[in-house]
Amino acid sequence: MSAATLYAPFKRVADVVTAVGVLVALSPLLLLASLAIKLTSRGPLLFAQDRVGRGGRRLRVLKFRTMRGGRQPDPEELVPLDHPEITRVGRVLRRTKIDELPQLLNVLAGDMSIVGPRPTLGEQVEQYDDFERRRLEVRPGCTGLAQVNGNTALPWSERIKWDVFYVDHCSPWLDVWILLKTVAVVIAGEERFVRRLDDVHAPRQ
């Protein structure tokens, strides 16, 4: 039995408790972000996108809307912070990861976990090989090993390696470490934490 299977029941309880606690603690921040979005640009408060989670299950991932309301997003497009369609408020929300806090509702619904591989697009999943499909063995997360080791500054193949490493080694201690490092990444920026898994585990000369 894998580490992920053994840990799953305890992880689910921790997810619910953590999600409720964070939503309550950050409710003033969530309210402020909601008001800022609605007062500075037209459009819905939340943006929902179809993604794929554990076992290939489809889910609707929630985020605060950070782009102009009339824009039709291209799922294949990489959107940097200086993209002209990102609102001024949206730029702040993206930089601080506040835009992803609504995903705590996905956690409460059981579609996501606090920590795990990020949910990806169906088009990507259809092209997975056997190794890449292993990242679907656990619930997708709000943050994960790939996100605290460079995220989009890493090529996709490196992010996959971090995700599969997490599936094989997930534990309460690793989750706590990822959460603590997530705070550091939000403060200092992803580029400061770029690491390849092969470099971390390379034998010493």
Give the pLDDT score at 5: 74
Task: Compute, in degrees rounded to 10, the torsion defined by CA atoms 14, 19, 138, 100.
Answer: -150
Give the list of residues 6+ apart from residue 121 with CB closer than 8 angstroms, or none.
Answer: 50, 51, 52, 75
Question: How confident is the chain (205 residues) per 10-residue block, as mean pLDDT?
Answer: 76 96 97 96 92 94 87 59 84 93 97 95 92 95 94 89 94 95 90 83 46
- Dig out the tokens for 20 from the structure: 């409720």
Which pLDDT belongs to residue 203? 45
Nearest residue to 67 via CA among 45, 98, 97, 96: 45
* Pairing assessment for the beta strands 113-115 and 141-143 based on DSSP bridges: parallel
Indicate the SS3 state at residue 62: strand
